[in-house]
Amino acid sequence: MIKTLKNEFMTIKINSFGAELQEIVDADNVSRMHDGNPKYWARRSPVLFPIISRFVDKKYTYQGKEYFINTHGFAREKEFMEYESGSNYVTYLLVDDNNTFECYPFHFQFYVTFTLVKNTIKVTYKVVNTSDYKMYFMVGGHPAFKAPLYENEKYEDYYLEFEKAETVEKTKLNGSYLSSETEPFLNNQKIIPLRYKMFDPDAYVMEGLQSKYIDLKSKNHNKVIRFYFSEFKKFAIWSPLVVDAPFVCFEPWNGISKHYVLEIEKKGILELEKNQTFSCSYVIEVLN
């Protein structure tokens, strides 16, 4: 079911399936998100839970037993219940079931809240461990922002700009898998120019950024997406490699370690004891 939140600055739509933000339309009636065209990528803003990225052959072990789980977890493929809503917010809830327990042996409550305040959208994840034992998990976002916005523009007219000049490495990839190694990336730089098929072989994954936000900008106008990610340990940027996709994704990640092991207890991911709660948020600010 689609939920609409609206104020004088923008209109947003959220799908209860996957608790996925579907659309952001600004006050000038300009759509700011990827439209989900499957020619490029059929998703728009999937929720990543209870894992991020992928295990080799989709499998991992927990307490000596082997489990299989799909890339980025199952939340993006599940119908969430509308738990609570008001004039400017909606909260969705996902709880474990027999199907989730087969691939992820933990009982949980997972809440996703969207709050619209003026020209900002705050997306909050809350995880509650309802198991009788320690729970391991990861959580993150994956919104895709439209570029270019207008027909007379090119993708190369757009660029990313961090709040501060950054000197940071990015995670090296072994094919489509994250490795335990890093490589030089930014050297006292704020700007990343966009070009098609630049994410080779896959996302740019960074840790230790000093900036609290990143902007998506055009050389041609002053419409900006400002994305705040400081409550997340890692931040990734991605667009498909195999097609000229007219968008860029910002991916705030919590819980994923650069040290890859098969045993989930040793992966360095987030932990919750029985009845404990974890929460984190990112914010999308729509400028002009």
Q: Give the whole-angstrom CA distance, residue 237 versus residue 210.
A: 16
Q: Where are the domains of the chain?
A: 2-287
The predicted pLDDT at position 76 comes to 98
The 3-state DSSP class for residue 57 equals helix
The residue among 166, 152, 116 whose CA lies nearest residue 13 is 116
Residues 34/38/43/49 CA torsion (nearest 10 deg): -150
In this prediction the pTM is 0.95
Nearest to 282 by CA among 233, 209, 224, 238: 233
**pLDDT reading at 19 higher than 90:** yes
First to last CA, the chain: 29
Q: Tens digits of per-residue pLDDT, 251-283?
A: 999 987 645 545 666 666 899 999 999 999 999
Biggest alpha carbon–alpha carbon distance for the chain: 57
Strand-pairing partners, residue 204, are 237
pLDDT of res. 86: 97
Say whether domain 2-287 belongs to CATH 3.20.20.70. no
